[in-house]
Amino acid sequence: MANNKTGFTSSFGVVMAAAGSAVGLGNIWRFPYICGQYGGAACLFVYLLFVFLIGMVLLMTEFVIGRRSGFAAEKAFPALYPKRPSWKIVGLFGMFTCFLILSIYLVISGWTVGYFWDSVTGKLASIEDGAFDEYFVQFSTSVWKPVVFLVIFLVLTLIVVLGGVQKGIEQVSKLLMPFLLVLVIVLCVRALTLPGASKGIEYLFNPDFSKLTWEGILAILGQALFSLSVGMGAMIVYGSYIPRDNNILKNAAWITVCDVLIAVLAGVAIFPAVFAAGQSPAGGPSLVYEVLPIVFNSMGTIGIVFAAVFFLLLSLAALTSAISLLETLTAWLHDRGMKRSVAAVLISAIELVLAVVVAYAYKREGFDGGILSGFTPGGRDLFDWVDKLTGSYLPPIGALFTVIFFGWVMKKEDIYDELSNHGVLKISWFKVFYHFLVRFVAPVALLISLVAGIFAK
């Protein structure tokens, strides 16, 4: 099948763009916390297994589907199996997932850009230690603040996507990803040299297999998928931009390594600092917006710089992920005949409305929420709904059907042909990959985790 679209120019470009998609809010505020909560090195061990055996296999799966078909998710499935066009439902399901993720991503990224601004202007440094929760609530539930910053972030994302696949996405990722690595290393060095830092390292890495519960294992698998951006068609789109002579296995391995590395480094940057400042670890928003500002303030004047560096790091990591989400949806509409620029603007406009609704639905436990937080169908506000759906349920469902299509519907010869670049590469690992990981391990693991996840409340 011909792939006439503009794609990425080199392996390096592919790895940076896809690592940009993978490294995001999930790595920096979710992974370290999950790691601490579910047994440190024990969790890390399981995470590495899942990431390399299931996550990376899905990454390769999506790359092959994308590059072979040359399409975004909706058309990719039928293109590879014309007998049953209804497989496009899996693609559409992925689009729905991306659509929801982008809305909540915009909200959280907006908060982050806002905190970056507050740290640069010195506002954060002027707040008393005990008042950060109140400050965060005021910020996140105010009518205009979250919206203003969210719009700034969305406009930046849109500009990059309008710049195109090569000149926008690839260029920006090649620039930002190495910069991100430098920022996170700077933060690690600072954190590790604080007195009392070792307790944080212990929290992160001390292996405690008793904390590794069944529930924990599910959370770790969900995180492995979410973190690699698989199970929703995003990597099918990036796959369709991979040059024909690139080695898909190598690309996928590098992307996975970058993703894990940044997640672990983020943990090393955060927890030693948290313990050194006498705070206790928390998860999600309160870690980033309530605990860390206290930590930065405890460093004295230089803390202002580190606060700015941290919120910049988080904003940029979120930006390359948001770019990937917007590109996924744009490429999908483009496949359906819409002009790229029109598609990107249209999606952004719809996401803006949705994101504002989600932002206004946010409620911090124990405080008054945003103006829409009283709307709680099924006992959850809309922010919680989107968070739960996108974090736990939708990605494994998408991943399960994608891998079933790949292992049981697509022709094995086609997969071999694509992974070996039409016989050019020697791929002695193919049998293990295909018969063991793709057809057996990945679907069984996904199915078990889904069923257990749904029944375990």
CA–CA gap between residue 294 and residue 130 (Å, rounded): 8
Q: Does 101 bind ligand TRP (CB under 6 A)?
A: yes
Residue 121 carries which DSSP code? T
Q: Does 234 bind ligand TRP (CB under 6 A)?
A: yes
Cβ neighbours of residue 283 under 8 Å, at least 6 residues apart? Answer: 29, 30, 33, 34, 37
- Judged by CB under 6 A, the number of residues near ligand TRP is 16
* Residue (120 or 397) nearer to ligand TRP, CB: 397
Query: Burial letters for 122-137: b for 16+ Cβ neighbours within 10 Å, e otherwise?
Result: eebbebeeeebeebbb
CA–CA gap between residue 20 and residue 117 (Å, rounded): 23
* Residue (105 or 149) nearer to ligand TRP, CB: 105
* Residue (279 or 390) nearer to ligand TRP, CB: 390
CA–CA gap between residue 65 and residue 324 (Å, rounded): 17
Cβ neighbours of residue 358 under 8 Å, at least 6 residues apart? Answer: 103, 104, 107, 382, 383, 386
Q: Does 112 bind ligand TRP (CB under 6 A)?
A: no
* Residue (259 or 418) nearer to ligand TRP, CB: 259
Residue 327 carries which DSSP code? H
CA–CA gap between residue 311 and residue 406 (Å, rounded): 39
Q: Whole-number minimum distance, CB 109 to ligand TRP, in Å? A: 10
* Residue (51 or 98) nearer to ligand TRP, CB: 98
Q: Does 240 bind ligand TRP (CB under 6 A)?
A: no
Quote the tokens at residue 32.
């370290």
Residues 17, 18, 22, 304: which binds ligand TRP (CB under 6 A)? Answer: 22
Q: Whole-number minimum distance, CB 30 to ligand TRP, in Å? A: 7
Q: Does 321 bind ligand TRP (CB under 6 A)?
A: yes
* Residue (226 or 383) nearer to ligand TRP, CB: 226
Q: Does 419 bind ligand TRP (CB under 6 A)?
A: no
Residues 14, 16, 17, 27: which binds ligand TRP (CB under 6 A)? Answer: 27
Q: Whole-number minimum distance, CB 429 to ligand TRP, in Å? A: 25
* Burial class (CB within 10 angstroms; exposed 0-12, middle 13-18, buried 19+) of 324: buried
Residues 21, 109, 246, 373: which binds ligand TRP (CB under 6 A)? Answer: 21
Sites for ligand TRP among residues 173-232 (CB under 6 A): 226-227, 229, 232
Q: Does 402 bind ligand TRP (CB under 6 A)?
A: no
* Residue (26 or 303) nearer to ligand TRP, CB: 26
Q: Whole-number minimum distance, CB 392 to ligand TRP, in Å? A: 12
CA–CA gap between residue 331 and residue 324 (Å, rounded): 10
Quote the tokens at residue 448.
């078990």
Q: Does 324 bind ligand TRP (CB under 6 A)?
A: yes
Q: Does 26 bind ligand TRP (CB under 6 A)?
A: yes
* Burial class (CB within 10 angstroms; exposed 0-12, middle 13-18, buried 19+) of 6: exposed
3-state SS track over 81-116 = CCCCHHHHHHHHHHHHHHHHHHHHHHHHHHHHHHHH
CA–CA gap between residue 98 and residue 79 (Å, rounded): 21
Task: List contacts with ligand TRP (CB under 6 A).
Answer: 21-22, 24-27, 98, 101, 226-227, 229, 232, 234, 321, 324-325
